[in-house]
Structure formats: C-alpha cells, structure tokens
C-alpha cells in the first residue's frame, strides 16, 4: 500500500473540509477556499479533525492515484491555513524588477521590458535593495497555481551555467561549467 496515501491528514482548527457528491473536496480556511475533484473510485473519509483517503482495490489504476489524491488534499489544507511562498532572485548586471499591483515588470537585459500579469489569487511583492539581487516574492494558498506562475516567470531568463545569470529560486544551486581555456603553446 502507498505510504503517502496511507498517511492521515491532520486538519488544524479553523479549517473545514466538505466532501460532496462526485468526490468534490472543498477546503475552507482563513486564507480562502480551494476545491479539487478527486478520482471517483477513491473514498475520502472525514473523521473529526482527520482526513484519510481509501482506495477500493490494489489495482494499478487505484494505486496510481491514491498517494496523489492524498497529497492534493494535504496541499489544500496547508494552503488555506498557512499558505505557500516562492522567492525568486534575479542575478545579473542591470536586472531590475518592479510591480504595479499584480503587473510584474522585468528588465532582464533584453531590448525591451517584459510585462507579466500575475493572477489575482497570487500576491506579489518585489524588493530592490542596494547590494542585493532584485527579489520577487509570490504568495498563494494554491500550490499548483503558485508553481505554474513561478515557472512561467523563470522561463523569461533561465539561469545559465557559465556565470549563473538569470532568474533562480531562492536557495537553488546552479551547476556551473568551466569556461573556455586559452590554447596558447
């Protein structure tokens, strides 16, 4: 049996879980409300402050979605109670970032600025401090949406392996390559 799927989800106080017909799981908390459609064969059991996901058989198709479904529900519970944060750094000479509401403006060494509209479910904070790399901080209760937005921002200038310039996640380690060596003899 799946170790992740077998684990019980502890629901903190202030968070309510509702499982409606058709396995639509709705989680409500202080940071908002999230819904996810769970595989119809699985059974979601709510017992007070604990939630568990039970699969009917050990068939391959049930094993495939068991741990996934449990992780999705757990991410919703954590999201509406604590929320998720992604921090990104812009490493490079002349790289700048600013925002107006949810409109992100990136200056990444191209001939033009890049404008990116952040969804309303994600909050955006930008920092430009002297002596430090420009920083973009994204916060949301929806982990999937937050990851998609962060990945899209990163695609505008991925970190390159020679100097490490580009947009990287905070704490990410970039594998560096050695540059060219002179061939004089």
Query: pLDDT by residue (tens digit) across 48-93?
Result: 889 999 999 999 989 889 999 999 999 999 999 999 999 999 999 9
Residue 11: predicted pLDDT: 92
Is residue 105 within 8 A of residue 99, CB to CB? The reply is: yes
Strand pairing report for 84-91 and 135-140: antiparallel
Among 104, 127, 100, 101, CA closest to 114: 104
Question: Looking at residue 164, what DSSP letter applies?
Answer: -
- The pLDDT score that the predictor gives to residue 5 is 87
Angle at 40 between CA 38 and CA 41, to 5 degrees: 115
Residue where the block lists tokens 């604990």: 50
Question: pLDDT of 145-180, one tens digit each?
Answer: 999 999 999 999 999 999 889 999 998 888 889 888
3-state secondary structure of 106: strand
CB 153 within 8 A of CB 167: yes
Per-residue model confidence (pLDDT) at position 185: 63
Which structural domains are found in the chain, ordered by start?
Answer: 3-81 (3.90.930.12), 84-169 (3.90.930.12)
DSSP 169: E
Instruction: Please say whether the beta carbons of 81 and 33 come within 8 A.
Output: no
pLDDT digits (tens, 9 = 90+) for 86-104: 999 999 999 999 999 999 9
pLDDT of residue 169: 94
In contact, 157 and 109? CB cutoff 8 Å: yes
pLDDT in tens, 25-51: 999 999 999 999 999 999 999 998 899
The residue-averaged pLDDT of 133-139 equals: 95
| Interaxial angle between packed helices 60-81 and 143-154, expressed in degrees from 0 to 180 and rounded to the nearest 10 | 90
User: What's the Cα-to-Cα distance from 132 to each of 6, 37, 128, 129, 179, rounded to whole Å?
Assistant: 44, 43, 7, 6, 25
Residue 65 has, within 13 A of its CA and on its CB side, a CA count of: 15
């Amino acid at each position: 049996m799946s170790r992740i799927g077998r684990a019980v989800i502890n629901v903190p106080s202030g968070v309510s879980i509702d499982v409606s017909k058709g396995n639509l799981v709705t989680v409500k908390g202080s940071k908002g409300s999230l819904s996810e459609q769970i595989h119809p064969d699985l059974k979601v059991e709510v017992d007070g402050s604990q939630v568990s996901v039970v699969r009917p058989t050990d068939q391959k198709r049930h094993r495939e979605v068991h741990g996934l479904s449990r992780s999705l529900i757990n991410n919703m519970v954590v999201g509406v109670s604590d929320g998720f944060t992604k921090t990104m750094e812009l490493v490079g000479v002349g790289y700048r970032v600013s925002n107006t509401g949810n409109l992100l403006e990136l200056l990444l060494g191209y001939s033009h600025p890049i404008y990116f509209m952040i969804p309303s479910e994600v909050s955006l904070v930008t920092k430009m401090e002297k002596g430090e790399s420009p920083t973009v901080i994204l916060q949301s209760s929806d982990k999937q949406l937050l990851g998609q937005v962060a990945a899209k921002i990163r695609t505008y200038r991925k970190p390159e392996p020679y100097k490490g310039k580009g947009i990287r996640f905070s704490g990410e380690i970039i594998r560096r390559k050695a540059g060219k060596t002179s061939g004089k003899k």
